[in-house]
């Protein structure tokens, strides 16, 4: 692909696939050939492929818009705490089916992500927490000084480089501030629910999108401060994103206090509390720059030697700062990374069927128009001839045996795309209609459960 050689698939996402690559123009034996001094590692990069073929016109436009945002920001913003965009390519006359017209973004390659560190922490505070948080504040301060809002700040989008340093990534929702004083911008009605401030849940939508302010990033920073210092716990209680979102609204409306974990140190507790003030007008007094100044004044800027984070496969996929699975139901973006680590199956693992169509989710009469199909073979097109007779509806609970990460890509009504499939058991009462069939396949976009099951091997 031009100067870039595709070397290894890293992971699949809702909008496409991420590969590792290298710069073919760099001679590994000649350090002088690479002025940035990376020739020894052959200038490893992450290649984010965003195919447009097979998408509905609206979906293709949305994908192109997110790619445009990332390219525009990447071409204008340069800072040690921001992931660099190295190149962008649009493929043409491609020999690989489905890649003609694909947008490819070439990014720096990271070793891990903040989410990966939290996953490995097993509920314990991160040992290098203060340095990590300081560097996140540095990146966010620079981004805001340039007049941009990140729009989707979260641990998945905080990447860790080989030397342990932090890079903010994923600028597909980044918005440039406008207005007479540069107070706000507009983005699509997307985002990750656990990091959305209270006002975003009620934000009006117009032809420009929803309004977003720097205070939205400050709120997300407050959530991450709590997570980093508590081993991943959200400051808002709840076992699901829906219950946590309800807890946010209870707090924002004054019906519940903010309860931070006792393990969060006093200084950081005060900082997180200011970030999590319920009204954006209150949060506006605590800019990223002022928060960084407080950290440095308190002597927390030097967290000691950078610990080398674990470089898990899932985190390597995040090295692109990708926008691969924007567009979830209800105006949220659910990241659909397909990590390939084996998981231990829980006894009788189950999942709940999800219908992205709002009207169908509201119905309880199991009308045929709202039924969903289970596939016979997840590696062939998801069409009528490849669907079993048994139908399922939103809310149905199904026993699940295992998952397959790289089946046929499926995009739901809200635009979420995934290649992951689950092998589920047909309801006992329905098996007679399927003769000897006892299992079928449900695409990942038809559930939000994400059960812990082993990888399907046959």
Least confident among 286-295, 314-323, 447-456? 314-323
- Give me the CATH topology for the region 112-331: Transferase(Phosphotransferase); domain 1 (1.10.510)
Question: What is the overall mean pLDDT for the chain?
Answer: 78
CA atoms of 309 and 17, how far apart (whole Å): 24
Query: For residues 190 and 331, is the Cβ–Cβ distance under 8 A?
Result: yes
> Quick one: pLDDT band at residue 299, thresholds 50, 70, 90?
confident
Q: Is the CATH number 3.40.50.720 carried by domain 4-108?
A: no
Least confident among 51-65, 181-195, 398-412? 51-65
Indicate whether 51 pLDDT > 80: no
Domain residue spans of the chain: 4-108, 112-331, 350-446
> Quick one: pLDDT band at residue 189, thresholds 50, 70, 90?
low
> Quick one: pLDDT band at residue 39, thresholds 50, 70, 90?
very low
Indicate whether 435 pLDDT > 70: no
**Which pLDDT score is estimated for 267?**
94
358-390 pLDDT, tens per residue? 888 888 888 877 888 899 999 888 777 788 888
Higher pLDDT, 306 or 369: 369
Higher pLDDT, 267 or 73: 267
**Which pLDDT score is estimated for 137?**
96
> Quick one: pLDDT band at residue 104, thresholds 50, 70, 90?
confident
Closest C-alpha to 266, from 298, 234, 290? 298
Indicate whether 313 pLDDT > 70: no
CA atoms of 333 and 324, how far apart (whole Å): 10
DSSP 184: B
Indicate whether 271 pLDDT > 90: yes
Higher pLDDT, 227 or 199: 227
Indicate whether 13 pLDDT > 70: no
Q: How far apart are the first and last CA of the chain?
A: 34
Q: How far is CA 424 from CA 20, 319, 374, 378, in A?
A: 32, 32, 9, 12
CA angle (326, 329, 332) in 5-degree steps: 50
Q: Collect all residues with Cβ–Cβ distance below 8 Å to 138 and sequence separation of at least 6.
A: 81, 166, 292
Q: How far is CA 449 from CA 201, 349, 397, in A?
A: 22, 10, 10
CA atoms of 417 and 80, how far apart (whole Å): 32
Indicate whether 37 pLDDT > 60: no
Indicate whether 349 pLDDT > 60: yes
- Mean pLDDT for the stretch of residues 24-40: 55
**Which pLDDT score is estimated for 57?**
67
- Mean pLDDT for the stretch of residues 69-93: 78
**Which pLDDT score is estimated for 177?**
82
pLDDT over 90 for what percent of the chain?
31
> Quick one: pLDDT band at residue 277, thresholds 50, 70, 90?
very high
- Mean pLDDT for the stretch of residues 177-202: 77
Q: In this structure, what are the phi and psi dihedrals at residue 449, rounded to the nearest 5 degrees? A: -75, -40
User: According to DSSP H, which parts of 212-287 are helical?
Assistant: 214-230, 241-252, 266-275, 280-283
**Which pLDDT score is estimated for 397?**
93
Q: Collect all residues with Cβ–Cβ distance below 8 Å to 119 and sequence separation of at least 6.
A: 232, 312, 314
**Which pLDDT score is estimated for 421?**
94
């Amino acid at each position: 692909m031009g100067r870039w050689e595709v070397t290894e698939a890293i992971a699949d996402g809702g909008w496409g696939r991420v590969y590792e690559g290298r710069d073919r123009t760099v001679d590994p034996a000649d350090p002088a050939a690479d002025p940035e001094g990376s020739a020894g590692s052959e200038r490893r990069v992450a290649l984010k492929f965003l195919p447009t073929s097979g998408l509905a016109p609206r979906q293709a436009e949305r994908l192109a818009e997110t790619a445009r945002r990332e390219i525009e920001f990447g071409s204008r913003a340069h800072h040690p705490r921001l992931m660099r965009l190295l190149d962008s390519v649009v493929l043409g006359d491609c020999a690989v089916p489905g890649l003609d017209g694909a947008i490819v973004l070439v990014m720096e390659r990271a070793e891990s992500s903040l989410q990966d560190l939290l996953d490995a922490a097993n509920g314990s505070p991160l040992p290098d927490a203060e340095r990590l948080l300081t560097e996140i504040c540095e990146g966010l301060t620079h981004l805001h000084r340039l007049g941009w809002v990140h729009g989707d700040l979260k641990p998945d989008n905080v990447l860790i480089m080989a030397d342990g340093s932090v890079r903010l990534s994923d600028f597909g929702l980044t918005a440039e501030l406008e207005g007479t004083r540069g107070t706000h911008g507009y983005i699509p009605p997307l985002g990750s629910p656990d990091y959305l401030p209270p006002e975003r849940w009620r934000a009006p939508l117009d032809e420009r999108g929803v309004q977003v302010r720097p205070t939205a990033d400050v709120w997300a920073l407050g959530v991450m401060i709590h997570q980093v210092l508590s081993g991943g716990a959200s400051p808002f209680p709840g076992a699901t994103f829906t219950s946590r979102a309800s807890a946010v609204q209870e707090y924002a409306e004054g019906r519940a206090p903010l309860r931070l974990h006792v393990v969060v140190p006093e200084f950081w507790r005060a900082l997180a509390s200011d970030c999590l003030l319920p009204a954006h007008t209150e949060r506006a007094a605590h800019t990223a720059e002022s928060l960084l100044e407080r950290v440095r004044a308190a002597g927390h800027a030097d967290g000691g030697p950078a610990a080398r984070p674990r470089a898990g496969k899932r985190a390597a996929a995040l090295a692109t700062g990708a926008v691969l699975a924007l567009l979830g139901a209800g105006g949220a973006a659910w990241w659909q990374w397909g990590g390939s680590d084996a998981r231990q199956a829980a006894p009788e693992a189950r999942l709940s069927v999800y219908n992205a169509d709002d009207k169908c989710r509201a119905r309880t009469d199991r009308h045929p128009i709202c039924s969903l199909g289970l596939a016979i073979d997840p590696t062939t097109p998801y069409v009528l001839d490849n669907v079993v007779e048994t139908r399922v509806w939103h809310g149905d609970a199904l026993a699940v045996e295992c998952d397959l990460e790289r089946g046929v890509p499926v995009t739901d009504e809200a635009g979420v795309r995934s290649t992951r499939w689950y092998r589920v058991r047909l309801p006992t009462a329905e098996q007679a209609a399927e003769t000897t069939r006892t299992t079928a396949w449900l695409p990942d976009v038809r559930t939000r459960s994400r059960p812990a099951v082993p990888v399907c091997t046959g």
